[in-house]
A and B are shown apart, each in its own frame.
Chain A
Amino acid sequence: MEEAQKDATLKGEEVGNLGLIGLRLTLRLCYANFIVYLVLYVTGMYINIYITGGVNTIGISDLSNMIHMVAAILNFVFTFIVMVVGFLYAMRKVAMFSLGAVVCLIVGTLGGIVFLETGGGRLSGALTLAGGWIMSILFMLALFLSYYATIKVMRAIKVLEATNRT
């Protein structure tokens, strides 16, 4: 590809200054984050359907809750790392989408704490249900925002590969 053609391809693209190898590493982290999102979703649904589905409550030390919380920690750390990489290596969209996901996860976690603290069951009251709904809705929003950040990283990789830049 001619140099002018390469410059035209790069124009308007947000490739940052991380380089191809670094971008690929970040993409792997994004994939790992989606696996964690899946674990978070499955354990959350398990708790929702099989544990708190009737009149049961869930405690902080229940095994399924502990797995869910460890997954939530990993999910938050991975999303936060992608956000910082976006800020440090000049990928504004990656940074902003991930920042949105991080904010959603923080507020969603607060919803989870409210859920546990106010009873931890479906029949524990309106506040418990509100905490649960906040947690679920913001989790989905965080998932979508992380997805868009990943798309931007993939786009940057494709542009750099197309222009043979490293």
Chain B
Amino acid sequence: MLGPLQHKAATSTPGTNPLLYLIYLQAISLAFTYVAGIWVAITVHNISFNLPEVLEHGLASSVFVLLTGLVGFIAALQGQRKVSIYNFVLFLITVLTGSTGFALLGNPTDATQIAITNLSMMASVAIGMPITGFSLAKVSSISRGIAQDLSPVAFMTYIALGALSLTIIAGAAVASTPLYAFAVVTHVGFAALTVALVLGVLVVSILEGSGASASNWEPQRVAYSLLGLASVSVAGGDGVIYLTSGDLSYLVVMAEVAVLVYAFLMIAIGAPYRWGTLARRRR
């Protein structure tokens, strides 16, 4: 790994760090993997590896695992130890959970295998969300040459991503009959926590603009956390409609809107412009 000085030289030039773009690509591939996986789980009944839905999910997850390995290694080359270790762990988990998918393709009707695959893959997606969020926040702050102290907004966004992850895992467990009651209660509980935390991100982002800390204000963060709050509310609404109507299409929409929450939080945490930068550009 590079020393601190080499690391600073390699990463301090704004807008030149390829790692940042790789993390964005990694997050996009994670979102695609999740959406395609939900689509397969809900709409495909006789799973086989030559179905287009399964191939799309496989392709998206392969890109995700590839980018996770790449981000981990490039971060190691740039001396970003934590980003590297977290992505390496995520890489191993994703490869192992991918192998449960192979087992499912061989035993598509085995209920235990279905539950193991669903839960492990959802756990992999869920662990990926806070890790990509952390990686993006860390690398973007270094690229913009700003202090790496953990701000209240960044801290709250990490927890919101974590709560969203646990909501997703509990949601996957709902499909398992023995876990149904516990999973529903946990899913609703974590969903409520996620809403509260995204609201918290919004409030703290707005408060950053008041008083002495006005120079830290990032208007994009306010806008994207507001969009995240709207998305998480819509996802919650879809969940309630699904419970009352039983229409599976609402379940698919709920999962896809949950991806938007992840996307908006990711953009908020790596908000590319600061208030001071915008003001200078206007001048």
Contacts and interface: CB of A to CB of B under 8 A. Distances in A.
Interface of A: 18-19, 21-22, 25-26, 29, 59-62, 65-66, 69-70, 73-74, 76-78, 80-81, 84-85, 88-89, 116-117
A61 B102 contact: yes
Contact of A19 (B2, B65, B69, B74): B2
A75 to B, nearest CB: 11
A69 B66 contact: no
A96 to B, nearest CB: 18
Given A25-B1, A61-B105, A76-B66, A84 B77 contact: no
A77 B66 contact: yes
6 A-B pairs with the lowest CB-CB distances in the bound complex, closest first: A61-B106, A77-B69, A22-B77, A60-B105, A61-B103, A81-B73
A60 to B, nearest CB: 5
A73 B95 contact: yes
A50 to B, nearest CB: 18
B1 A77 contact: no
Contacts of B91: 77
A29 B73 contact: yes
Interface residues of B, number: 27
Nearest to A78: B69
A18 B1 CA distance: 10
- Name the prevailing secondary structure of the B interface residues: helix
Contacts of A66: 99, 102-103
B109 interface: no
Interface centre among A26, A60, A74 (most CB of B within 10 A): A60
A19 B106 contact: no
Given A61-B103, A66-B103, A77 B49 contact: no
Contact of A80 (B2, B66, B77): B66
Contacts of B102: 60-61, 65-66, 69
A84 B62 contact: no
B28 interface: no
B2 A22 contact: yes
Contacts of A19: 2, 6
B63 to A, nearest CB: 11
A41 B244 CA distance: 54
